[in-house]
Amino acid sequence: MEYSERLKKLPVQFFANLVEKVGKAVAEGRDVINLGQGNPDQPTPPHIIKALQTAAEDPLTHKYSPFRGLKELKVAASEFYLKQYGVAIDPETEIAILFGTKTGLVELPMCLLNEGELMLLPDPGYPDYLSGAVLANVEYKTFPLKAENQFLPDFNAIPQKQKESAKLMYLNYPNNPTGATVDRTFFEETVAFAKKHSITILHDFAYGAIGFDGKKPVSFLEVNGAKDVGIEMYTLSKTYNMAGWRVGFAVGNAKIIEALNLIQDHLYCSLFPAVQKAAVAALTDDQQCVGELVNRYEQRRNAFITACQNIGWKVEAPTGSFFAWLPVPSGFTSETFANYLLEKADVAVAAGNGFGEYGEGYIRVGLLVDEKLLVKAVERIKKLELF
């Protein structure tokens, strides 16, 4: 029995390899500080857990969910977007409930593109974007995110042929892995670009709650015309520490939302209803827990970046997300530096080349351990006398 060509073409799971390396080091008894992960380290807030427990005790939640999710959750998501971003969303036609946004990101090319058609992806970018392209059997080209352009795409630099033939483009701000953020002007330019070239936009808003220095990240849908050209995907994984719960949603253009709902009609019968009810509690109850979480990440960022700068490492502080994107010292590639830190300092980081060609020369650090451990990791690196 042979695997299908689609499965054979899937990219190697970058994070699986990273986990294997760290696991091997830990199995050897080494005290590894793991900064390579993207898994929130704090527990889900108690009121959300309580909502799940209460809902799970109700026999009605033990039945199949409506195919397209509970109306209650769609209304909650709609109210959330209106309150947080001033964006009006029709809960009936402009929201699709997702098994975490990773699922939606992989499904979307299958919904909108025919085999062989072209989509555009950021480089560096979230590795699983590539999975959607492979499973849909479509072509993809990448556009670079460079430090000299604040890790934003240069729409003018995209080859004319690609602009003419591309059907879909993915964007992601606050950005994984760079930690960059954008303002409304950028999204206004994005809408104009999309309309001019008839390109659909998917904005991956996974880190939408996490902005620093008093600046709240901007939703793509806040900009006039955004719904005409695309959608946004929002996950509860980061905002509410619900990564393992696998719940998110897509909002925006009704035709695209219908496409996502249609493919999911054939793949799933929506999420466990009790998880959906817990998601309602997350979106509609007091948001103090979110503010506290963002403050925690900002304190960690400040402690870590200050420690790096104190040892002579010339790094820039991220303006959003819970990642720091750091240049590797002279004489190393991304991968050799990541391996060196694990081998010589027992510090695990993610090599930047795992996020694409333009990730070379960087490592990604997750601000997902206590700030004392972040500082301790830098102290270990200092002993290597690289800076």
Token reading at 237: 């994984």
Q: Is the pLDDT of residue 11 over 90?
A: no
pLDDT of residue 16: 76
pLDDT of residue 313: 97
User: Mean per-residue pLDDT for 268-295?
Assistant: 96
pLDDT band at 183 (very low <50, low <70, confident <90, very high): very high
- Decide: 101 and 235 in contact? Cβ < 8 Å: yes
Q: Is the pLDDT of residue 13 over 80?
A: no
| CA–CA separation, 155 and 253 (whole Å) | 22
Q: Is the pLDDT of residue 15 over 80?
A: no
| CA–CA separation, 78 and 73 (whole Å) | 9
pLDDT > 90 in the chain, percent: 94
| CA–CA separation, 322 and 47 (whole Å) | 23
Strand partners, 348: 34
pLDDT band at 25 (very low <50, low <70, confident <90, very high): confident
Token reading at 307: 């420690």
Angle of helix 254-267 relative to helix 100-112, nearest 10 degrees?
110
- Domain 5-44+288-382: assigned CATH number: 3.90.1150.10
pLDDT of residue 272: 96
Average pLDDT, the chain: 96
pLDDT of residue 63: 94
pLDDT band at 22 (very low <50, low <70, confident <90, very high): confident
pLDDT > 70 in the chain, percent: 100
Residue ranges covered by each domain of the chain: 5-44+288-382, 46-284
pLDDT of residue 21: 86
Give the Å distances, CA to CA, from 324 to 96, 224, 294: 31, 31, 15
Q: Is the pLDDT of residue 338 over 90?
A: yes
Domain 46-284 in CATH 3.40.220.10: no
Tens digits of residue pLDDT in 283-330: 999 999 999 999 999 999 999 999 999 999 999 999 999 999 999 999
Of 124, 79, 128, the C-alpha closest to 101 is 128
Distance of CA 327 to the CA centre of its chain: 21
Tens digits of residue pLDDT in 38-85: 999 999 999 999 999 999 999 999 999 999 999 999 999 999 999 999
Tens digits of residue pLDDT in 198-251: 999 999 999 999 999 999 999 999 999 999 999 999 999 999 999 999 999 999
User: Mean per-residue pLDDT for 346-373?
Assistant: 97
